[in-house]
Structure 1
Amino acid sequence: MAAVRLDQLRKVYPNGHVGVAEASFEIADGELLVLVGPSGCGKTTLLRMLAGLESISGGTLSIDGRVVNAVAPKDRDIAMVFQNYALYPHMTVAENLGFGLKLRGHKQADIDRRVMATARTLELESRLASRPAALSGGQRQRVALGRALVRDPKVFLLDEPLSNLDAKLRLSMRVEIARLHRQLKATMVYVTHDQIEAMTLGQRIVVLDGGVIQQIDTPMNLYERPANLFVAGFVGSPAMNLLHGALRYDGGWILATARGGIALGEPAQAAAWQPWRDREVVLGIRPEDLRPRDMGSVALCAQLEVIEPVGNEIFLNLRHGDQTLVSRVPPRPLPEPGSTLPLELAAGRLHLFDPASGRRIAT
């Protein structure tokens, strides 16, 4: 396996569109790093630059200490798994797995040994004689993964490999990929638009928007300390609640909105709020930190619009003036939609952002 280093990597298309802007980070040897973001954010473009399928407009790309900007894809010692399985329909599973090795001139005995070892790893031994049409979607995806594994490359690149699977198969294949990574200790770069995949698979996550890296961090740091409003709104399901208002202090911190003041109490991080006193801010609060309050201190009241029970938890869709909110609560008796619900905020779990730059206000 190998480390990968990007230094000011840039992609500009002939029409002037910037696909990737000055991407700089390092992927450690054996790390599973996820590139995530909405459609058009540059994540697949960046992956294709790593693979050599997209030319590099500027900056330096190194794999295992070797600059590969001008190195052909076949000479980079990488393997790529695509969104569509791209299996040869006329070949058996064994032939699909070994085809790349055959093209590279490996001896048949070596091909058979590697194919069998990969089939055991992916639990495909009983399907080696089958053709892709006889396989389930999950099995086809495992064959696509196996075709990359059998080569034992320095870096694995996975481009939304689970997007064609149904929800149950996606879950099982996420577990499969995580298990494979732990077993192989392979360097993997995984592209997805699905933040659940990103959070559950990635040791670190690169969040992109408009070709620009917004934050690189561990999954829980992204969730608990988003660097800006984009990351705050993108990471988490349901998304973070964002409330606009002016930060005031009157015996306690208050967010002054058009609907009145929202009591913020005296949270520990409030010392860092002093420079923002009497200034416009955006308050972020995760759905699980916005809780119905039966008695005692109430931060705000909101109208309950829709109740979404999803088994082990309930999502409450609320409205506070012209702002929509979501609260995540355990199963419990609830008032009818249309009722006014008093709410409290988890004081130690508040996030403040600069509305002009979108950046997190240090706490």
Structure 2
Amino acid sequence: MTDVVLDGVEKIYPGGHAAVRNVRLRINDGELFVLLGPSGCGKSTILRMIAGLEEITSGDLWLNGSVANELTPRERNVAMVFQEGALYPHRTVKGNMMFPLEVSGDDRAEASARVVELARALGLNTMIDRLPGTLSGGQRQRAAIGRALIREPSLFLMDEPLSSLDAGLRTELRVEISALVRSSRTTTVYVTHDQVEAMTMADRMAVLRDGVLEDVGTPEQIYEDPATVFVAAFLSSPPINLLQATLWAVEGEGLQLDFGSQRLLLPWDDPRASWLISQHGRPVIVGVRPDTLTPIAPGAPARPGTVLSGRVRSLEFHGHEWLAYAGAGIPVVDANRVGRPARAGYTEPERPGLRDRMRTLLGRPAVDAAPPEEEHAGHHRRSDLVFRIGPGERPNPGDHVALTVAFDRMLIFDAAGKRVTPVRR
């Protein structure tokens, strides 16, 4: 068993590219900890630095109370599983799982018994004498996990081990991996870009962007109480509504969120009021998840300042629910463009417009003064509000809808994308 501490760890590659920036993180003994983020955010680099496969540029890595920067991977007693299991093709499942024990000189009979027992736990007992080439992708990954676990490492590292599998196998294997890791009580660091894997598997998790740690906590904490706009958007399916507003403190009324064409009013007795008043007259970002918007029956009364309205543009059927997309005339925010850390010496290149790119592909000269390429904000490019619809409540495209807002679950961020109110951890 071991705990892991990253104390100001950085990784800067030749040329000045900072893959990981000043990461401070503690992973507790026996914990299943998930590193979550989009491709290129630095999560796999952190995993490789923990394993000893990447040199740390600055900062310290502590394993079980001792600085481990200079230790070799073998001295760290870690086991690692990658996206592809990388099994030895000429060895059977049993031979692959036996290999680490053979290298360490374990008694062959005892090693064989351990392999058979672990293979049974992994559901591989009926294929233990088969070669990797005869196995499915999920079976190969189970064998790779078994080969890593059989050594009884102090630390288990997994780098997107399910990303190449189909959805059904991913669901099955993430349940098996979670149960197996927890039963072994081996400290595990699991890297993924899949929010469902992270939310369902993690004891705690960290969200990264551009090498920077954005948030750390339990899945429930990070989902319900995200520290930044990026975290709120990344852990959101269907996508969270991120709405641009200006906050005004109105004497005798409360805190007004002015969206231009519409307004919401938080009363002064709202527990967040003492924090939000610091944003008086400033732009803020209001996060409203689709399940916190409830359609009001046509003709039903609504208290002013508690409702957002719009016209339904489209509907999506998701089997267990419908999603509605409504235009409300409210400016929306692209989370990927808010609060992004600046990269020293880097300037975002100018990209040609769509028309210029098409003319280049067709071998035609670019046209001067081409109209600028339309920008969009991910899922919000056609709609201002996304909301869920229960059975029997479905409006039609073109219908006007009024939506009550659950104020207690509304998230408010400053213009830089940081939560205005304290984040509870």
Query: Normalized against structure 2, the TM-score is what?
Result: 0.82
Aligned AA (1:308): E
Aligned AA (1:315): L
Aligned AA (2:5): R
1:261 has 2:263 as partner: yes
Q: Is the 8 A contact 1:319 1:325 kept in 2?
A: yes
1:236 shift after superposition: 1.8
Q: Write out aligned runs for 1:78-97 (5 A).
A: 78-97=78-97
Q: Is the 8 A contact 2:255 2:277 kept in 1?
A: no
Q: Is the 8 A contact 1:263 1:300 kept in 2?
A: no
Q: Is the 8 A contact 2:81 2:157 kept in 1?
A: yes
Aligned AA (1:2): T
Partner of 1:199: 199
Partner of 2:301: 296
Q: Aligned equivalents of 1:314 and 1:254: distance in 2?
A: 31
Which shifted more, 262-271 or 180-189?
262-271
Which shifted more, 133-142 or 3-12?
133-142
Partner of 1:279: 282
Q: Aligned equivalents of 1:304 and 1:68: distance in 2?
A: 57
Q: Aligned equivalents of 1:161 and 1:46: distance in 2?
A: 16
Residue segments in structure 2 that go unaligned for 5+ positions in a row: 333-383
Residue segments in structure 1 that go unaligned for 5+ positions in a row: none
Count residues in correspondence: 362
Q: Aligned equivalents of 1:29 and 1:260: distance in 2?
A: 50
Q: Aligned equivalents of 2:143 and 2:66: distance in 1?
A: 30
1:107 shift after superposition: 2.9
| Alignment deviations for residues 114-142 of structure 1 (CA, whole Å, 9 cap, x no partner) | 21121122121111111112222221111
Aligned AA (2:108): Q
1:145 has 2:168 as partner: no
1:316 aligns with one of 324, 334, 348? 324
Q: Aligned equivalents of 2:98 and 2:11: distance in 1?
A: 34
1:264 shift after superposition: 4.7
Aligned AA (1:209): R
2:417 aligns with one of 341, 351, 358? 358
Partner of 1:224: 224
Partner of 1:102: 102
Q: Is the 8 A contact 2:32 2:182 kept in 1?
A: no
Q: Aligned equivalents of 1:325 and 1:102: distance in 2?
A: 60
Q: Write out aligned runs for 1:228-239 (5 A).
A: 228-239=228-239
1:268 shift after superposition: 4.0
Q: Write out aligned runs for 1:33-52 (5 A).
A: 33-52=33-52
1:248 shift after superposition: 2.8
1:200 shift after superposition: 0.8
Q: Is the 8 A contact 1:264 1:299 kept in 2?
A: no
1:106 shift after superposition: 2.5
Q: Secondary structure at the match of 1:114?
A: helix
2:393 aligns with one of 324, 333, 346? 333
Q: Is the 8 A contact 2:85 2:144 kept in 1?
A: yes
Aligned AA (1:316): A
Q: Aligned equivalents of 2:40 and 2:118: distance in 1?
A: 34
Q: Secondary structure at the match of 1:275?
A: helix
Q: Is the 8 A contact 1:268 1:348 kept in 2?
A: no
| Alignment deviations for residues 179-222 of structure 1 (CA, whole Å, 9 cap, x no partner) | 11221111000000011111111111111101010111111111
Which shifted more, 130-139 or 153-162?
130-139
| Alignment deviations for residues 82-133 of structure 1 (CA, whole Å, 9 cap, x no partner) | 0011112221100011112222332322321221121122121111111112
Q: Is the 8 A contact 1:9 1:56 kept in 2?
A: yes
Q: Aligned equivalents of 1:348 and 1:315: distance in 2?
A: 22
Q: Secondary structure at the match of 1:90?
A: coil
1:345 shift after superposition: 0.3
Partner of 1:166: 166
1:6 has 2:1 as partner: no
Q: Aligned equivalents of 2:180 and 2:402: distance in 1?
A: 47
1:68 has 2:73 as partner: no
Q: Aligned equivalents of 2:175 and 2:190: distance in 1?
A: 14
1:249 shift after superposition: 4.6
Q: Aligned equivalents of 2:110 and 2:54: distance in 1?
A: 32
Aligned AA (1:358): G
Q: Is the 8 A contact 2:249 2:277 kept in 1?
A: no
Q: Secondary structure at the match of 2:272?
A: helix
Aligned AA (1:13): Y
Partner of 2:113: 113
Partner of 1:128: 128
1:279 shift after superposition: 2.2
Q: Secondary structure at the match of 2:236?
A: coil
Aligned AA (2:272): Q
Query: Normalized against structure 1, the TM-score is what?
Result: 0.95
Q: Aligned equivalents of 1:28 and 1:65: distance in 2?
A: 11
| Alignment deviations for residues 145-181 of structure 1 (CA, whole Å, 9 cap, x no partner) | 1011101000000000110111111111111111112
Q: Aligned equivalents of 1:149 and 1:24: distance in 2?
A: 27
Q: Is the 8 A contact 2:226 2:232 kept in 1?
A: yes
1:265 shift after superposition: 5.6
1:305 aligns with one of 297, 308, 313? 313
Aligned AA (1:260): Q
